[in-house]
Amino acid sequence: MSTLTDKLFKRTKDEWKELLINNAIIIVIFAIIAVVVIREPSFVSVAVFRNILTQSSVRLILAFGVAGIIILQGTDLSLGRFVGFASVLSASLLQRPDYPSRFYPEMAQLPLFVPLLVAIAGCVLFSAINGWVVAKFKIHPFLATMGMMITLYGILSIYFASGAPGPQPIGGHDERYVQLVNGQTLGVPNLVIFATIVSVIIWVIWNKTTFGKNMYAVGGNPEAANVSGVNVMKTTILVYVLAGVLYGIGGYLEAARIGSANNGTGFGYELDAIAACVVGGISFSGGVGKVSGAITGVLMFTIISYGMTFIGLDQYYQYIIKGILIVVAVSLDTKKYLKKV
């Protein structure tokens, strides 16, 4: 104990400065949370904590998808459109038979897993194209995924407008679907259970498989990984395929969580996911990132979003605060990388 105390108080001025800079984003986030708690003490309650966990669940699944791409020194601006694509596909295939504005009026009820597989397959297809373009043509992921974001939005909008009732929000979800996503098991929200299962699977993939080791190797140094016998193109495409699977699952869950879907669903989700990853220590410099970091980042951002809404802060101010946090997080990450170089 005395040794720890000595280390704490014997830090030089520069060491304290470095410590504060490296943890500035965490300090700012906790400061925002403290303001929320002071303004509304009722924010600290079991009900609020439960709601935060529920809201974090889909965001976490999506964050895992983009986290793998960030570990490869990339990013994915098309994440939000993938969510919308998967949500609209799922919602259009899982409406109640008696709903008057059905997307497919004559279609019989489908098993719940069929629309999920359709959503995953669609997301995997387009995400794999992202990975192939990045790996094959060495296009920066920022540009490749921006192109996919625009393209996918066009495809999504065409499909959305093609339903029998025309371009209108797709609601009237099958009760089985609603219960699966928004229900509870032994008092625990199903969304939290789904997110926990996905977290365990991602942890195993990242830490206990050859693919996971190759992902970190390619992200850390693609040239060295290639010399070591790692198939860089295959690994890159598989990371994007895994992201597509997670986007498909996230979109399927999100449509039922919010109660409807349209071609605007998922707008801006990529910003929250990317920011949460960076706050959680998943570095844009590549080869660095943990499952626990993604979980921490998502929880922190959800607490901030929920907290600001809880105290009635205007949404426009929320955008400003989130934007500043993203810039600060990326700047600190870049600073750490430049220092290592």
Measured CA to CA in angstroms, residue 81 lies from 9, 128, 272, 288 at distances of: 49, 15, 14, 26
Residue 323 has a pLDDT of: 82
Domain spans of the chain, in order of start: 47-265
Residue 161 contacts residue 147 (beta carbons within 8 Å): no
- What whole-number distance in Å separates Cα of residue 320 and Cα of residue 324? 6
Q: Which residues of 132-153 are buried (b: 16+ CB within 10 A; e: fewer)?
A: bbbbeeeeebeebbebbbeebb
Burial, 119: exposed, middle or buried (Cβ in 10 Å; 0-12, 13-18, 19+)? buried
Q: Which residues of 232-266 are buried (b: 16+ CB within 10 A; e: fewer)?
A: beebbbbbbbbbbbbbbbbbbbbbbbeebbbbebb
Q: What token pair was written down for 189? A: 């929200």
Residue 340 has a pLDDT of: 55
- What whole-number distance in Å separates Cα of residue 290 and Cα of residue 195? 16
**Cα(first)–Cα(last) distance of the chain, in Å?**
35
Please give the average pLDDT of every successive group of 10 residues along the chain, which has 341 residues: 53 69 72 87 89 94 97 96 97 95 94 97 98 96 96 97 93 96 95 97 97 96 94 97 98 96 94 88 89 91 88 87 79 65 53
Residue 196 has a pLDDT of: 97
Q: Which residues of 173-183 are buried (b: 16+ CB within 10 A; e: fewer)?
A: bbeebbebbbe
- What whole-number distance in Å separates Cα of residue 66 and Cα of residue 70? 6
pTM attached to this predicted model: 0.90
Residue 341 has a pLDDT of: 53
